[in-house]
Amino acid sequence: MARRIETQKFLLFLESALIVAIMVALVVVVALQVFGMMGIIFVLVGVLMLAFVSQSRGQPPIPDNLIAVSRDQGRHIYEILDELISKTQLKQNPSVYLLAEDMMNAATLETREGPIIVLTPSTANKLNTRQLRGILAHEVAHLEFRDTVLLKLTLSVHIITQSIANVAWFMLILFFPLLILSEGTFPLHLLLILFGAPIASVLLQLAFSRSRELNADLGALELTNDPEGLADALERIDRVQSHTISQLFPFKRPKQPGSIFRSHPDIPARIKRLRKIAREQKL
């Protein structure tokens, strides 16, 4: 079973690497089409500027709407976290914060004070120990795989792609009257690139996020060796979220967006995948 999980993780690594490579290739193509060889210089300058801004600002502060959970207040949470962290190479234990909202949710953030795991009250209090362990293991796996850093990387590539397209649109609007008066022609393929590249960049960024979520599921299994625990937790979260949405929209439930427009994989599909691993584990 461990070998199967490692194989799946390797395939997800290849998928994530391919997505990043396509995003980088896309921004290079856009830069070349808009600015020629100078576009490569613009891309490099953009990367350096984003790196400088990121370095100078450092990590963001902890959001004001989060409430710190001390070890005395959340002893059972920290006990689970300590056990999970002991199985990783992480040098700093995350702190736990609560976000006061009704939905069941959990997230991992990098802040100036260090990594934090954010839970909603219902996630912290309504999941049993086994389910909570699965959710916390998923968030710890995100930290271990440096997913917050990788997601920032893909966001930076998207920002550069969008910025180049915006500059190109500004130049096109500015010089459009001159282009008409001179009876010049504008390459249609460039219009398609300016329209399509930012959209494609967003979709690739979302695909990367989904890939990292699936990878974190596998990382959680390595930490807990309990696919049923995480599957039960996801099933409970999905059921509570569905109930909350039905309460907000009692007459007509809003249509769920397609999977390519989501930052997270479909929860039922994740549950099915985890249950399959659990069945194989018993054979």
Whether residue 229 is contained in a domain is answered as no
> What domain range is 55 assigned to?
2-59+148-201
Q: What is the pTM of this model?
A: 0.88
CA distances from 71 to 79, 111, 112, 135, 272 (A): 9, 19, 20, 18, 34
Contacts of 111 (CB under 8 A, 6+ apart): 59, 60, 61, 62
Higher pLDDT, 220 or 175: 220
Whether residue 48 is contained in a domain is answered as yes
Say how many domains are in the chain: 1
Q: Give the integer Cα–Cα distance in Å for 83 and 119.
A: 18
- Average pLDDT of the chain to the nearest whole number: 86
Whether residue 32 is contained in a domain is answered as yes
Whether residue 14 is contained in a domain is answered as yes
Of 208, 223, 74, whose CA–CA distance to 150 is shortest?
208
Spatial strand order in the sheet of 106-111: 66-69, 95-99, 114-119, 106-111
Across the strands, what pairs with 83?
none
Whether residue 20 is contained in a domain is answered as yes
Q: Which residues of 187-212 are buried (b: 16+ CB within 10 A; e: fewer)?
A: eeeeeebbeebbebbeebbbbbbbbb
Digit-coded pLDDT (tens) for 68-89: 999 999 999 999 999 999 999 9
Digit-coded pLDDT (tens) for 186-219: 677 888 888 899 999 999 999 999 999 999 999 9
Digit-coded pLDDT (tens) for 39-65: 778 777 777 776 666 655 667 889 989
Of 119, 17, 18, 133, whose CA–CA distance to 73 is shortest?
119
Contacts of 225 (CB under 8 A, 6+ apart): none
Predicted local confidence at residue 69, as pLDDT: 96
pLDDT mean over 228-238: 94
Q: E strands of 145-263, at which residues?
A: none
Predicted local confidence at residue 245, as pLDDT: 55
Whether residue 171 is contained in a domain is answered as yes
Predicted local confidence at residue 185, as pLDDT: 62
Contact between 274 and 227 under an 8 Å Cβ cutoff? The reply is yes
Angle value at C-alpha 145, between 140 and 149, nearest 5 degrees:
105
Digit-coded pLDDT (tens) for 117-176: 999 999 999 999 999 999 999 999 999 999 998 998 899 889 889 988 888 888 777 776
Predicted local confidence at residue 172, as pLDDT: 78
Digit-coded pLDDT (tens) for 91-108: 889 999 999 988 899 999
Whether residue 167 is contained in a domain is answered as yes
Indicate the helix (H) or strand (E) that contains 21. Answer: helix 2-35
Predicted local confidence at residue 136, as pLDDT: 97
Digit-coded pLDDT (tens) for 240-256: 877 555 555 555 555 55
Give residue 261's pLDDT band: very low, low, confident or very high (50, 70, 90): confident
Whether residue 40 is contained in a domain is answered as yes
